[in-house]
Amino acid sequence: MKLVFIGDSLVQGWFPEVWRQFYGHRGVLNLGVNGDFTQGLLWRIANGHWPAGLRPQGAVVLIGTNNTLYNGSAENVAAGVMEAVRAIR
C-alpha cells in the first residue's frame, strides 16, 4: 500500500467510481468511517483498524470536522488530530 486515507465521511464518502478512477490503480486504501470523531479514529487505530503491518509511504488524515460540529474547541480538535498523526507514524 502506497497511500492511506483515514478519517470521517469526507474520506469514506468518495463515490466508488471516482475512487477507482483516481486512486484505484495507485495502491491506495480508504479507511474512512462516516460520522467519526478524533476520539473514534484514535480508538480504531489502537484497536486494529490500522493493520499492524501497514507501512504506507504517506497518509491523508481528514478528521475533526464532526468534533467542531459538537462544540469541540479548536485546541481539543487540534490535539486530537496531532495525536492521530503520532499514532499513525
* pLDDT tens series, the chain, 89 aa: 789 999 999 999 888 888 889 888 888 999 999 999 999 999 999 998 888 889 999 999 999 999 999 888 999 999 999 999 999 98
CA distance 80 to 8: 13
Q: Is the dihedral of CA 10, 16, 21, 26 positive or negative?
A: positive
pTM given for the model: 0.85
